[in-house]
Structure 1
Amino acid sequence: MSKTDTSTAAPAPVTASKTFHSCNPAQQHLFAVRPGVSVEDALEIASCLLASALRTVRGAAMEHDDEALFGAVFQLEAVKAVVDAAGLAAPTENQEGGE
């Protein structure tokens, strides 16, 4: 790189605060995604959580032969595919449902 090159790498994207899970009649949120975590790390954890949920729901769908649960399997597969396709999550071959 030449000494006159003044370009700098863009900062890595990070998470914003996002609350979830209402826990009472007032709909107060109990949990939150913390701001400032690298998006790469957050997506890797999200992919692992989705793989776990997918395994659980797929097992229940097969055990009970339940159409609604098979629909949930499809939805989880779709969301996990989007997370994994973002190119920031861990390699899909290391995770349940990967190609």
Structure 2
Amino acid sequence: MFNLASSKYWHKLKLMKTLLSAFIAFFLISGNINANQNQEDTYSIIESTTTVDCLERAYMTAVMADNAGYSREEVEWYSQASLALCYGYSLSDLR
């Protein structure tokens, strides 16, 4: 079992989540979202929120796999599988 907190993969995943969260927060604070915007803008915000949720799921999957004693390769694969399933891909798309 490797230390997930020190792995490069974990740091990349955490950085992606942080950057995406910061972008969404900036977008919301900047006043670009109001009640008069069209439906496409609403869908893009929902999609961005879903991306953050997917990254959180992938992170939690990696943590659980690491805690269960899986190898580094298995932890990364399970995390990628979690992301793929969250976005609606099949597991065969990962190979």
What's the TM-score, normalizing by structure 1? 0.45
What's the TM-score, normalizing by structure 2? 0.47
Determine which structure has more spread, i.e. the larger CA radius of gyration.
Answer: 1
* Structure with more relative contact order (C-alpha pairs < 8 Å, separation 6 or more): 2
